[in-house]
Structure 1
Amino acid sequence: MLSKLLDPESVAVVGASPKQGSVGYVILENLVTRFGKKVFPINPKYDEVELWGRVIKFYRSISEVPDPVDVVVIATPAPTVPKVLEEAGIKGVKAAVIVSSGFSEAGNTELENWVKAVAKQYGVRVLGPNCIGVYNAYSGFDTVFLPAERAGRPPPGPLALISQSGAVAAAIMDWAARRRLGLGFLVNYGNKADITETELLEGFAADDRVKVITIYIEGFKYPGEARQFLETAKKIAAKKPVVAYKAGRGGAAQRAVKSHTAAMAGSYEMYHGLFQQAGVIEASSVREMFDMAKALAMQPTPRGRRTLVLTDSGGMGIQAVDALEALGLEVPEIPESVAKELKRELLPFAAVANPVDVTGSTTDEHYKIVLDALLPTPLFDMALVVTLMQVPGLTKNLADYLIDAKKYGKPIVVVNFGGSELVQRFEEVLEGNGIPVYPTPDRAAKALWALYKYGEIRKRL
């Protein structure tokens, strides 16, 4: 069923509209201009309308659609939804995205229960209601009712996002698009009258295109959900990283959660313990969730916690050591015999201890010398490399040396800060070749911690 929902071949949009600015217009535009497969607009007010340089045929109801329909997107007033869902069920549609709001989140639990009953009667699996639905960057299937110029669409990539909040999901989409972060799938499940985050976890676990699953969660809604989540996440985390951010940690925030998606926030301690048992890596913010997910998608897990810090800035090196040690990672000193060998090839005033500070007079080759001398040895399990490209001796060739160091099979993350064209191009080349880049040492350190943490989770599970 989830394949029909996430990767359909045909879609009907009930509530489709030629009126610019309306929800039905944006969803229809998304699908007609980017989906590239069968799209059937449903609205009895229209017959044929010229839109986006083509003539679009509208149907009076879903029963008039001549072809099979995999999924129906419903964007009509809440009271009309049960009838629409019944028509879809009679048609043989197996999945529905209910964009409409005005259900349990607004106190209208009876209407939501009616929707659930109709869906169960006809075997239609429901995402929502009160959601933005699905974004599939691979196929262009996109039910997000926010215009692309306001909420950018990210490129295909190894990350998937499951979000309880539609607005948060849309903001993440836009943020990821501006950074060219590969977010292949996004699903917002809203009130989860039927499909839950646990089922979506299972769906993404089975998709080889997804390397890391991220979850924004506010709270479970029904008794027994926590247990189901624990059992499912535990199986998945043994094979594929799952990173979660739990919102609604304090009392006032928990009240907001209840009014947002009618979820039971519960105590934060319960969720924290649940994530630990399940092997889910917990983030303290949305940004941190994606910082860690990016590293987990790009880099191997380390054998241990010993970290090499290589920098052209003493200050950045100190910050990196502070951040790593605060997370429980080790920054061991380089043995004197190895340090002597390095000193022969580096500048006389370079600091060879760990951090290794090649100084602001460095060249690309000095980075290569250190990486080739230390990463193949058992002294270090991973590396945090600071590359402030403002230094005159550094060029774009440094990216090639860092990429080449991947051959040692150890995680590498890079700290690169600045706004010049050289800096931006340098970052693009690194990330395009699987080396994650961060603007500050603390964010890079947390990414390495996530890699170490996931290695420990896999050993335990």
Structure 2
Amino acid sequence: MTPLISPKSVALVGASPKQASVGYVIFENLANRFRGKAYFVNPKYDVVEAWGKQFKFYKSISEIPDAIDVVIIAVPAQVVPQVLEEAGKKGAKAAIIISSGFAEVGNKELEDELRALGKMYGIRLLGPNCLGVYNAFDGFDTVFLPAERAGRPPAGPLALISQSGAVAASIMDWAARRGIGLSIMVNYGNKADVGDVELLRYFEKDDRIKVITIYIEGFKYPGEAKRFLDAAREVAKKKPIIAYKAGRGAAAQRAVKSHTAALAGSYEMYRGLFRQAGIIEAANLRDMFDMAKALATQPLPRGNRVLVLTDSGGMGIQAVDALEALGLEVPEIPESIRRDLRRELLPFSALGNPVDVTGSATDQHYKVVLEALLPTAFFDMALVVTLMQVPGLTQNLAEYIIDAKRFRKPIAVVNFGGSEVVQSFTKTLEDAEIPTYSTPDRAAKALWALYEYAKIRGVVRP
């Protein structure tokens, strides 16, 4: 799988100097960002001048003088078998077939031919009908959507496996605009060969990846669900897996079949499969990355008891509602600790749980509560609401929250608003790997995911 996802040498068949074409965008990606050796194949050209440089174009793969790890194929569907056979004779280890026009439009025989050729020559196939691979670690990028329209996220602890190319590109763009470290994306399209199972196994072994996210529409082959279950169950013992299953209702299942030639199957079957495998299920894409952010940065809790600290009574109530709806506990603070807190906080502060330091709060009030409660055995996690519109709060509060990481308990912060103060505060926390959310329900779901994974890993306190 390494030559497919992190190759040293690449050949792009269908490279083109014609702007806005698929072959042009991938040509640009490889020419300007790939850290390995890239070769470009198109019999129409000898030399192409672009970006202030000259690039040699080869007539065919066989003309390339060096060994090739992976061949990227972006030519009409009927030509793909010929190109794949040439790649096999060249000794390529993998092929990414961008081209569409196979089983997703009823042309199953042509897709079967690709699969047979892959087996004959020992080539691992990704696709067809896919975006392929984005790897921020080494600049390998076969996504044929221009970077100005579909942003490329920075390197970080997350990986994405996606059955849909458009969804994958949208996620990449969304992550890029928010600075979320989505290092590797793989879209497998029709899944003629490589699919979820192989990719899970690959990411299991990549120590740079801390959380694996999956967008799945449906399995394609008999027995695939069992293979997926076996692989995911093993991988989840080492790394969190978060999945979002699309195609839950009857009409959506019909759409799935026409999209990637997959069998959507019963949604209840997938839910049961995820539970058996130790996969955390997301309700939507935003949910998936909210949870992934926490799982990638926070320690696992020893239990389900949450401290809620807020400067807004209304936000505190929303947080308690959300936490309890998810089965997390919001226990009262013991009276002995309340007595100590009364000496340090404002006389009108609420000291039940949530602890409401009110709109008259200062940074120091938050620090007092965190240092008094988070180290105790009464709480396993903290949900901290910091509405920076309160005049007594400054950027120092971010440092106090970051300092609370020393207690080795998960923290999720709610910071709502759009001012420069709010944005700067959020950035400081996120840069220090404190996950920050705009609403209490999102922060609560992130803490829930940490607790669920703690149960999967068997670290929850009896």
Q: What's the counterpart of residue 369 of structure 2?
A: 370
Task: Tell me, yes or no, if structure 1 residue 249 matches structure 2 residue 248.
Answer: yes
The match for 1:107 is 106
Q: Deviations over 1:141-163 (max 9, x none)?
A: 00000000000000000000000
2:257–2:264: 8 Å Cα contact kept in structure 1? yes
Q: Cα distance, 1:33 vs. partner?
A: 0.7
Map residues 92-103 of structure 1 onto 2, 5 A cutoff.
Answer: 92-103=91-102
- Please list every run of at least 4 consecutive aligned residues from structure 1 whose deviation after the TM superposition is greater than 2 angstroms: none
Give the % identical residues.
73
Q: What aligned pairs does 1:348-427 form with structure 2 within 5 A after superposition?
A: 348-427=347-426
Equivalent residues in 2 for 1:125-136, closer than 5 Å: 125-136=124-135
- CA offsets 1:288-330 (integer angstroms, 9 cap, x no match): 0010011000001100000000001000000000000000000
| Residues 302 and 459 in structure 2, CA contact (< 8 A), matched pair in contact too | no
- The answer as to whether partners of 2:291 and 2:446 remain within 8 angstroms in 1 is yes
Provide the rounded CA distance (Å) in 2 between the counterparts of 1:25 and 1:424: 37
Mapped to 2, the partners of 1:283 and 1:35 lie a distance apart of 33
Q: Does 2:79 correspond to 1:76?
A: no
Instruction: Report SS of the residue matched to 1:361.
Output: coil
For 2:291, the equivalent position in structure 1 comes to 292
CA deviations 1:266-291 (Å, max 9, x no partner) are 00000000000000000010110010
Give the aligned partner of residue 45 of structure 2: 46
Q: For each residue in 1:219-262, what CA deviation from the matched residue of structure 2 results, as whole angstroms up to 9, or x when unmatched?
A: 00000000001011001111110000000000000000000000
- C-alpha distance in 2 between matches for 1:208 and 1:381: 27
After superposition, give the CA deviation of every residue in 1:43-94 in whole Å (9 maximum; x if it has no partner). Answer: 0000001101100110000111111111110000000000000000100000
158-167 vs 423-432, greater mean Cα deviation? 423-432
The amino acid across from 2:193 in the alignment is: D
Provide the C-alpha distance between the structure 2 equivalents of 1:296 and 1:238, rounded to a whole number of angstroms: 14
State the distance in 2 between where 1:3 and 1:115 align.
Answer: 21
Distance 2:118 2:83 in 1: 11
**Unmatched 5+ stretches in structure 2:** none
TM-score (norm 2): 0.99
Query: 1:156-207: CA deviations, max 9, x gaps?
Result: 0000000000000000000000000000100000000000111000000100
Q: Considering only aligned residues, what root-mean-square deviation do their CA atoms show, in Å?
A: 0.9
The residue that corresponds to 2:139 in the other structure is: 140
C-alpha distance in 1, partners of 2:80/2:432? 47
Unaligned runs of 5+ in 1: none
- Structure 2: how far apart are the matches of 1:354 and 1:426? 24
- Give 2:456's aligned residue: 457
| CA drift at 1:36 | 2.6
**Contact 2:319/2:441 (8 A) holds in 1:** yes
5 Å-filtered alignment, 1:421-436, equals 421-436=420-435
Query: Matched residues in 2 for 1:452 and 1:126: separation?
Result: 37
Give the deviation of 1:460 after TM superposition.
Answer: 8.9
2:111 counterpart letter in structure 1: E
8 A Cα contact 2:162 2:187, kept in partner: yes
- Equivalence for 2:115: 116
Measure, in 2, the Cα distance between the counterparts of 1:47 and 1:421.
52
- Count of aligned pairs between the two proteins: 460
User: What CA deviation, in whole Å up to 9, does each residue of 1:117-149 have, x standing for no partner?
Assistant: 111111110000000000001111000000000
SS in 1 for 2:309: strand
Q: What residue is the counterpart of 1:3 in the other structure? A: 2
- The reply on whether 1:235 has 2:211 as its aligned counterpart is no
Q: In structure 1, how many angstroms separate the alpha carbons of the residues matched to 2:123 and 2:39?
A: 18
